[in-house]
Amino acid sequence: MSHAPFHIVLIEPEIPPNTGNIARLCGATGSVLHLVGKLGFSLDDRYLKRAGLDYWPAIDVQRWQSFSELQSVFPSGRFWLTTKKAERSYHQVSYQTGDFLVFGKETQGLPDELLAAYPEQCIRIPIFSPLVRSLNLSTAAGIVLYEALRHTGRLK
């Protein structure tokens, strides 16, 4: 397994600035960014590059055709699927260095069949207003990643 503290997995991200912001987050924390499936933009997109600023050389970006392909390369990986449909909150997890934090596309989240296949690995970020459906993808990634870093003692 990689020596990265954590892995951020984005399944079919759609909005370039969100992915760029998450890429910068990965660069800042030494985490690996995994982009899975069909992207809603080109990796050459100027908004993606702009959001990542000049940090792209510090970011380890891996590209995968499918989630199953990623899992086959990391068969012992622990994957935490972030969804508003989960019972368990993100802060109730015993994170381990090297865990994979998985996020779905901005408009639909993670596919129901993926959530159904791994119910024990589903986590949510509480939202207290019934008027708000979800958080921004890059905000959600930052919340969960920094909790995982805190939990594993990497924040000093």
Whole-angstrom distance, CA of residue 2 vs CA of residue 17: 26
pLDDT in tens, 87-106: 999 999 999 999 999 999 99
- Name the residue ranges covered by the structural domains of the chain: 7-151
**7-151 CATH fold:** Alpha/beta knot (3.40.1280)
Q: Which residues pair with 109 in a beta bridge?
A: 105
Tell me how many helices (H) and strands (E) the chain has: 5, 6
pLDDT in tens, 5-34: 999 999 999 998 899 899 999 999 999 999
Q: What is the pTM of this model?
A: 0.92
